[in-house]
C-alpha cells in the first residue's frame, strides 16, 4: 500500500470489515466453531509459564470458541472484538469478560497480560498502522509476555470482498514484530502436513523482549 491512508479511510476500513462480520455472525459461528485449533493453542501455551491462572487476551475473539478453551484450562481469559454480535455471543458462550474495541483504537491496560492470542485477526490491521498496534499490544504485555498470531500470508494489501486485509510473508511480518519490540520464538505454516504452497496460514509465536525501537 503506497498511498497514505487518512483518518477517514481507516474508519471505513474498520467499519466495513466489522459490518461484514456483523452481517454473518451466526453463519461464521456455525462455520468455525468446530475448527481444530489445537496446534495454535499448543504453540501459544508452550511458550507461556506452565501454570494456571494466566492473564490472556484473545484479540479478535469472534464468537468465543478459543476464549472458552482458555477459561476451561483455568486461565483468566478476556476477549476483545469490534463486532457487537460477536462480543455478545462470546460473553454468553464463554462467560468471560469481552471488551468491544476497534483494533485501530485500542485502550488496553499496561503490563497486564501474560499472553495475547490473535487467531486470524491481526491481518485486518492496515500495514500503515501495524507497528503502532503491535506496540500497543507490547505495552499491554508483562515482561517476557507472548504474542501468538496466525494470519493468511502473501504479498498483498487491500480489500478482499468486504473485508480489508494485510497479507505478509514471514520476513516482512518479522520486521514489523522487531520494530515493535518482539523477538521471534517459533513459526510454522498451516494446515499441518501439506506442501508449502497449500499452507496459506502463517503462525508466529513472538516474545516481548525489549522496548520498541524509536520510529
Ligand atoms: C477471521 S475472524 C477470527 C475470529 C476468531 N479469532 C477465530 O479464530 O475464529 C476476525 C475477527 O477480527 C475481528 N475484527 C476485524 N477487524 C476488526 C477491528 N478493526 N477491530 C476489532 N475487531 C476486528 C472480527 O470481528 C472477527 O471476530
With a cut of 90, say whether residue 140 has pLDDT above it.
yes
Q: What percent of the chain has pLDDT over 70?
A: 97
With a cut of 90, say whether residue 26 has pLDDT above it.
yes
Quote the ligand 1 centre to 185 CA distance (angstroms): 24
**Reported pTM:** 0.97
CATH fold group of domain 7-208: Rossmann fold (3.40.50)
Asked whether 122 and 109 are in contact (CB, 8 A), the reply is no
**For the chain, what's the residue count?**
215
**With a 6 A CB cut-off, is 108 part of the ligand 1 pocket?**
no
Q: Label residue 71 by pLDDT band (50, 70, 90).
A: very high
Per-residue confidence (pLDDT) for residue 212, from 0 to 100: 72
Helix (H) or strand (E) run with residue 141 in it: strand 141-152
- Neighbouring residues of 39: CB distance < 8 A, sequence distance ≥ 6: 188, 190, 192, 203
146 φ, ψ (degrees, to nearest 5): -115, 135
> Comparing 47-56, 100-109, 123-132, 206-215, which segment has the lowest mean pLDDT?
206-215
- Segment 125-135 shows an average pLDDT of 98
- Segment 134-157 shows an average pLDDT of 97
Q: Distance of CA 138 to CAs 43, 148, 184, 212, Å?
A: 19, 12, 13, 8
Q: Which of 83, 100, 200 to mutate to test the pocket of ligand 1 (most atoms within 8 A of CB)?
A: 83
Q: Label residue 215 by pLDDT band (50, 70, 90).
A: low
Report the candidate in 45, 57, 39, 52 with the shortest Cα–Cα distance to residue 140: 57
Question: 3-state DSSP call for residue 111?
Answer: coil
Quote the ligand 1 centre to 196 CA distance (angstroms): 25
Total Cβ atoms within 10 A of residue 174: 17
Query: Domain ranges in the chain?
Result: 7-208
Per-residue confidence (pLDDT) for residue 214, from 0 to 100: 61
Q: Whose CA is nearest to atom 4 of ligand 1?
A: 62
Amino acid at each position: 500500500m503506497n498511498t497514505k491512508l487518512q483518518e477517514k479511510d481507516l474508519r471505513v476500513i474498520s467499519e466495513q470489515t466489522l459490518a461484514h462480520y456483523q452481517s454473518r455472525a451466526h453463519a461464521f459461528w456455525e462455520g468455525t466453531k468446530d475448527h481444530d485449533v489445537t496446534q495454535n493453542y499448543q504453540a501459544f501455551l508452550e511458550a507461556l509459564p506452565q501454570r494456571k491462572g494466566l492473564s490472556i487476551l484473545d484479540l479478535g475473539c469472534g464468537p468465543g470458541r478459543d476464549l472458552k478453551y482458555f477459561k476451561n484450562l483455568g486461565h483468566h481469559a478476556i476477549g476483545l472484538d469490534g463486532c457487537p454480535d460477536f462480543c455478545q455471543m462470546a460473553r454468553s458462550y464463554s462467560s468471560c469478560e469481552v471488551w468491544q474495541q476497534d483494533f485501530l483504537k485500542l485502550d488496553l491496560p499496561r503490563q497486564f497480560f501474560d499472553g495475547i492470542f490473535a487467531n486470524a485477526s491481526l491481518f485486518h490491521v492496515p500495514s500503515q498502522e501495524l507497528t503502532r498496534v503491535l506496540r500497543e499490544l507490547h505495552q499491554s504485555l508483562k515482561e517476557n509476555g507472548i504474542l501468538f498470531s496466525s494470519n493468511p500470508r502473501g504479498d498483498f494489501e487491500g480489500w478482499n470482498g468486504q473485508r480489508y486485509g494485510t497479507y505478509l510473508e514471514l520476513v516482512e511480518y518479522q520486521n514489523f514484530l522487531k520494530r515493535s519490540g518482539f523477538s521471534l520464538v517459533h513459526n510454522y505454516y498451516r494446515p499441518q502436513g501439506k506442501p508449502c504452497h497449500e499452507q496459506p496460514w502463517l503462525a508466529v509465536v513472538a516474545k516481548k523482549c525489549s522496548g520498541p525501537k524509536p520510529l
